Each structure stands twice: as structure tokens, then as C-alpha cells.
Structure 1
Amino acid sequence: MSDLFDQALLADEPQPGTEHERRAARRDRVERRRRRRRRTAVAVVLSLLFVVGLGVGAFLLIRPLFDDRETPQADDFAGPGSGSVSVVIEEGATGAAMADTLVDAGVVASQQAFVEAFSANPAAAQIQPGTYELMAEMRAEDAVNALLNPANKSELRITVPEGWRASQIFERISSVAQIPLEEVEAAAADREAIGLPAHAAENPEGWFAASTYILEPDADATQILSAMVDQTKSTLESLGVPAERQHEVLTRASIIEHEVNREEDRGKVARVLENRLQNCSGDGLIGMDSTINYGIGRSGGVPERSELDNADNPYNTRIHPGLPPTPIGAPGVAAIEAVLDPPEGDWCYFVTVNLDTGETRFTGDYSEHLRNQELFREWLATNPTDED
């Protein structure tokens, strides 16, 4: 196309001399025009490169300004922090939800700083719900580590040993939670509030499960007792105890807790209870000193003759047949399991012959039982004690 254009231009100009000279002149003119076009093209390319270079340089100069605007530096305190701040981490809280809580409490400077620190710590997912005592104005990284430290978690820890009576449990709650005893007793009397089932006796004894409870530091008496009742209901449900048997099972298990303390003896006592109720003497008397002591408000010792003959004590199982009206303490899971699956045996009698070791002799023969009782008296003679 360019050659045709050149030829058209040459045709418009005057043609000198000979044909050879005219052709040479045309070639010179064409060559000069080609060189001009090349120079023009080079100039255009150089100009474009120059403009592009200026644009790239300008972008590089102002890019940090845009970068800062798009990903700003997260606000973070310098730390280490000061004072004390209580924060509550809710159940199922995400890192972002924790961040919001901490920002509101003045513990960390920004949500972004905490979320970044949370994401960078592989253990952060193990942060537990609860109340924590932290410092104000902490570094986000330090705040994550503080939430992973159990020492910073505020909690109310109450332990109920196996066999404890409700009165002992109430005193423990009052002491540990700093709640007036009368307030704890009043809470226990509100059956609906603490979740007692309809088949529980008027006396809630036995429904406050033996266990260790970890609660929020501001838990009140109703919340604490509810947790204990819930634990009992959960245990009975997990063991498949139907509602109509729960009171009876708790009563039997509570007696076991007070009669023996060795694991291997629990099932045997459960069998003794069953045998005495069914066929040992035919009168249905279980004759347990532990129940008599409960009825007179004593935790141990051997009942005196007047106490053994006291028919006004509804817990006197030497006079009143069957099980006592209620459990006599808080049974543990092992005692409940023993009631549900006692070993086979003809035992009707048992006696602990050594209170130090807990050695207990079981027999179905009354004469042998008398000999075992003599062994116990011999032990008492050399080991005076007020305990039974």
C-alpha cells in the first residue's frame, strides 16, 4: 500500500531528463520519505515509552498511600497492660466475638489486632468459655495467651464427697460461694427452681450429686443446687434408671456409701440389702446403723441401746421394715452402679473388722457373723476410736 502511495506522489511531480534519471530521482524521493516515516515512528514509540515510564514511576511513588488505605496497620496496645478487668467469654464464641468483648472491656485496642493474633496462635481454638481476669490495654498476642492460661480463669469450684449429707453440702456451698447458709437452705426448699423431679421425696437428700462442680464465680445458691440435681438426673438417665425406681436406687446407694469404702465391697453390700429385704429373716428389716445415725442427726458411731429401740426415728431400720424414707447422703456413681448390678451371693451379714484398712467380712451364716463381730471388738480394744 505504501508503494502505491509513493508512486502516486511521483506521478504528480515534474519528471526530469532521461527515463533512467527519472527513475533514480523517484527512488531517492521514496527512500527519503521512508526514512522520515521511520524517524516519525521511532519518535512516537519513544514518546509512548516516556509517557508509560512517567506513569509507572508515579504509581510506584503513590502506591504506598493506596496500600495503607486498603490494609491499614491494626491498632494494638504496647502492653503489657495494667489493672484488672473481668471479661466473660461466651460458649461457642468465635475469635471475632471474643475480640468484640475484649475491645469493649478495654483489654485490646482493636478487633483486627486480636483476630490476627488469634489466627496466628494454633492453640487459640482451645480457649474455654468462662470469666477471666485480664489486664487493661494488653497486646493482642498477650491477651490470646492470657485466655489460654487457666490461672486467669475465675471460677467457683465446689466438691461434694461421696456420702455427704445435704446439711454438709449446704455448709460447703455457703463457705465456698460466700452465700448465707439460710439463703442456701431457702433455695433448696424451692423444688421447682432447683429442678427436683416430682418423684423425689419432700426431703431432697440424695439428689445433690457427689462430684466436683465448676461454675461461674457469681453463681447463686439456686444455680449451684440446680447443677447438682441436674448431675444426679443425668447420671440416673445415663444408667437407664426409670423414674419409678430412682428414689429407691438413690436410697440404697446412699446406704452403701456409709457402710463400706472399698470398691470391692460396694456390690456385696448391695446384695446384702436385697437379701435382707427379701429373704434373710422374713421381716424385711435391713438393720443398718448408718440409717439410725442419720435419723438422730449423727454422722457416725455405734447407736446405743436406747437409740436402737427408738421407734420414733423413721430411719430406725431395726424396727421399721424396708428402706428408710429417703436417701441418707449423696451417693457416687460407683454405688449407684453397684445397686443396679450386685453380684450373686447369700450374704445377709457383714461387719468391718479393721477400720484402718476397711476390711469387711461378709457371710450368710449368723454364727460366723458373731465370730466376725468378735474380731471387730478385738480390733477396737487395741485401736480405741469413736468411729464405727
Structure 2
Amino acid sequence: MKRLFSRFFILALLGIACLAGALAWFAWQPIALRESPLDFTIEPGSTMKQVARQVADAGIDVEPFALVMLARVTRKANWIKAGSYEVEAGLTPLALLAKLTRGDVTQAELALIEGWNFRQFRAALDRHPDLRHDTVDLSDIEILQRLGVDASHPEGLFFPDTYLFARRSSDLDVLRRAYHNQQNVLAREWARRAGGLPYRDPYEALIMASIVEKETGQAADRPMVASVFVNRLRSGMLLQTDPTVIYGLGADFDGDIKKRDLLADTPYNTYIRRGLPPTPIAMPGTAALRAALNPPATDYLYFVARGDGSSAFSRNLDEHNRAVARYIRKRQP
């Protein structure tokens, strides 16, 4: 009986050794790929068995059972990260598992531009081929609800920047990051604001920053443009800024602002309504926020575009009319 048990034990050890040797050989053998490079995606919440099947179905010539065994032996089975991956010829199963546990995903990028409005943000998200379009059938309010944002209007709440993300990420994930970035930047700049500004809260500063963003042709003019609008608010003057009027017209704006547009009674018409409009009109970047919250001390009340992207600033209406005659009507005063 002892001899039989010894033989059985020896055979078991030999079997384990053979299995270990086979697994070691498997771990270090290059895997054949359907093409190189090859992209594949691991879906969120996948078990190791499901991961192995997704890998094989993508065109990686690996035996799923062997990959699962290797993952368990190397204690990597519970550490696989979802996302999109790119692999090339020469990859071994061990290197594949290392890549999956590091979360070494391929990344795409999306530029959300300063001065864009939320409609333009959504259009950029919708046309990006590497995003999962979870917002396409949602209203603006529904998007805010999905993000857990307690607001009734999305404009201005998202930070313009270039965002990197793993392929097949949700567009909601990008918007969530953009929202938190804007809140962080706004809080930081609000804490550093100058004294005596005519804003009741950070949201009003965000509204002003959006106007500065849309009214500025050159970055260097942002602080001066902000000083004009702050001076107007302080003195009770109308802001009289075309971008707010255009925003209020929405789809009715034909690209050429007319006198009737300046008389249109919308909440955003700063030619007939005093103070700030009810919401931002675009997504301001850091420079516009900083200008709105730290404008230089000036006595300028007017500005006009020179035609080269810069602006000419005036202290009174006479100076402004001369600047308009020079730069808009193309004649010397």
C-alpha cells in the first residue's frame, strides 16, 4: 500500500511539474496576432474568463484556459483593468497580463476650445470616433443630472482643455472631468480675486469671464476688456456687448448682427437689460477667469476692434466715437 501511494505521489509530482513546465513555456512564447499592431477592448466588470475570451476573439491567438491559469498562478486575475489596448507582434502571454494589470491603455484625445458654447462641446463629443456616445439622446438637463450637477443650465460649467481618455470611454466621463476642472479653477481664481468687484458670487464671475472670452480677439486684451465691463457694472451702465445678444438669439441669429437684433427682448440682450445676463454665454478658460477676477484699475468705458484682433480703449463717448470712425468706418477723425 505504501509503495502504491508513493508511486501515486511521484506521478502527481511529475504531473504538476509537467503542468508547471508547460505553463512556463506558454508564458514566454510569443503570441501570434491577426494583425500588428492590434487593438482590442476589455469591457468593464469582466471576469478573468471573460477577459481571456475577449482577448482571443479580438484576434490574439492564445488559449483562453491557459491564459486564465497563468493569470491565477501569477495572482493577476483580479487586477485586470478595463479599457482599450494596443499590442504588437512578439508579445508573450506574461507581457500581455502585465499590460492588462498596469492598465497600459491606448489613449485618444479631444480638444474642447475656449469660447465654445455647450452646444459646440456636445457636437465635438458626438463626432469623436473613440468615445462611447452615452449623451447623444439626452437633453442638457438630463446630462447635468447624470453628472450629479445641481444646475439648470450647462453653459460655462465645463473647462475648455485637451482631454486624454482611453478609447471607448463614455462622453459623460469627459464631461465629468471638464466640470470638476472648471469648478476647481473657478474656486482657485475666486480665492485670489481683487477686492471690491461687483460680483455677488463665483457664478457671476463665471458669467463675466465668458463675456470677456467672447469679446477678446487677442489674449493680451483680456484684462483691459474685463476692466471696461467691470467699470460699466460699477457705474450702472448697460454692458452693451454683442456676444450676449447673439447668444440670446440662438438659432435665429443669421451671422450678421442687425439693429433689430439689438432691440430683441431676450434675457441676454445687454443693450436693453442692465447687469449681467442670467448665465454664461460660453466656456471661459483660465485667462478669462483671471482677467474677470483681477481686472486692472482703469477708467475705460468703451472699446472697439481695430481689425487686427486687438482693441482700442476709450474713456468717454467722444473718444469712442473717434475710434469707431477710425477703425470701423475707415476714416480719420
- Scaled by the length of structure 2, the TM-score of the pair is 0.70
Q: Which has the higher contact order (CA 8 A, sep 6+)?
A: 2
Equivalent in the alignment of 2:74: none
Change (3 A) 1:287 1:375: same
2:263 aligned residue (303, 309, 319): 309
CA distance in 1 between counterparts of 2:69 and 2:298 reads: 68
CA distance in 2 between counterparts of 1:162 and 1:290 reads: 14
Which runs of no fewer than 5 residues in structure 2 stay unpaired? 1-13, 72-80, 194-198
User: 1:183–1:221: 8 Å Cα contact kept in structure 2?
Assistant: no
Change (3 A) 1:172 1:104: closer
Equivalent in the alignment of 1:327: 280
Matched residue pairs, number? 289
Equivalent in the alignment of 1:220: 170
Match of 1:265, as an amino acid?
A: D
Please state which structure has a larger fraction of its residues in helix. 1
2:182 aligned with 1:232, yes or no?
yes
Which has more radius of gyration? 1
2:323 aligned with 1:372, yes or no?
yes
How far is 1:327 from its partner?
A: 0.4
User: 1:134–1:146: 8 Å Cα contact kept in structure 2?
Assistant: no
Change (3 A) 1:179 1:286: same
User: 1:272–1:347: 8 Å Cα contact kept in structure 2?
Assistant: yes
CA RMSD of aligned residues (A): 4.4
Match of 1:325, as an amino acid?
A: P
User: 1:85–1:105: 8 Å Cα contact kept in structure 2?
Assistant: no
SS of the residue corresponding to residue 284 of structure 1 reads coil
2:233 aligned with 1:277, yes or no?
yes
1:113-128, aligned counterparts within 5 Å?
none
How far is 1:140 from its partner?
A: 5.0
User: 1:130–1:153: 8 Å Cα contact kept in structure 2?
Assistant: yes
1:12-23, aligned counterparts within 5 Å?
none
Change (3 A) 1:222 1:142: closer
Change (3 A) 1:258 1:85: closer
Match of 2:310, as an amino acid?
A: E
How far is 1:181 from its partner?
A: 7.1
Change (3 A) 1:265 1:237: same
CA distance in 2 between counterparts of 1:196 and 1:156 reads: 26
Equivalent in the alignment of 2:11: none
How far is 1:253 from its partner?
A: 0.7
CA distance in 1 between counterparts of 2:217 and 2:98 reads: 43
How far is 1:336 from its partner?
A: 0.7
Equivalent in the alignment of 2:220: 264
Match of 2:30, as an amino acid?
A: A
How far is 1:219 from its partner?
A: 3.3
Change (3 A) 1:347 1:229: same
Deviation string for 1:208-240 (max 9, x for gaps)?
A: 221122234333343343232222112223334
How far is 1:352 from its partner?
A: 0.9
Change (3 A) 1:376 1:296: same
How far is 1:110 from its partner?
A: 6.0
1:143-222, aligned counterparts within 5 Å?
143=96, 153-176=105-128, 177=131, 179=133, 182-184=136-138, 186=139, 188-197=141-150, 200=151, 202-222=152-172
CA distance in 2 between counterparts of 1:331 and 1:379 reads: 32
Match of 1:235, as an amino acid?
A: V
SS of the residue corresponding to residue 187 of structure 2 reads helix
1:10-89, aligned counterparts within 5 Å?
74=24, 75-76=26-27, 77-82=29-34, 84=38, 86-88=40-42
CA distance in 1 between counterparts of 2:210 and 2:254 reads: 14
CA distance in 2 between counterparts of 1:363 and 1:284 reads: 15
How far is 1:137 from its partner?
A: 8.7
Which runs of no fewer than 5 residues in structure 1 stay unpaired? 1-64, 91-97, 115-127, 381-388
Match of 2:324, as an amino acid?
A: Q
SS of the residue corresponding to residue 206 of structure 1 reads coil
User: 1:351–1:360: 8 Å Cα contact kept in structure 2?
Assistant: yes
How far is 1:248 from its partner?
A: 0.6
CA distance in 1 between counterparts of 2:84 and 2:132 reads: 18
Deviation string for 1:179-217 (max 9, x for gaps)?
A: 387514x264343321324xx4x2221112211222343
How far is 1:249 from its partner?
A: 1.4
Change (3 A) 1:112 1:240: farther
User: 1:253–1:336: 8 Å Cα contact kept in structure 2?
Assistant: yes
Q: Identity of counterpart residues, as a percentage? A: 28
How far is 1:379 from its partner?
A: 5.2
CA distance in 2 between counterparts of 1:160 and 1:353 reads: 28
Equivalent in the alignment of 2:8: none
Deviates more, 1:207-216 or 1:292-301: 292-301
Change (3 A) 1:135 1:295: same
Equivalent in the alignment of 2:250: 297
How far is 1:146 from its partner?
A: 7.8
1:253 aligned residue (187, 191, 209): 209
- Scaled by the length of structure 1, the TM-score of the pair is 0.61
SS of the residue corresponding to residue 362 of structure 1 reads strand
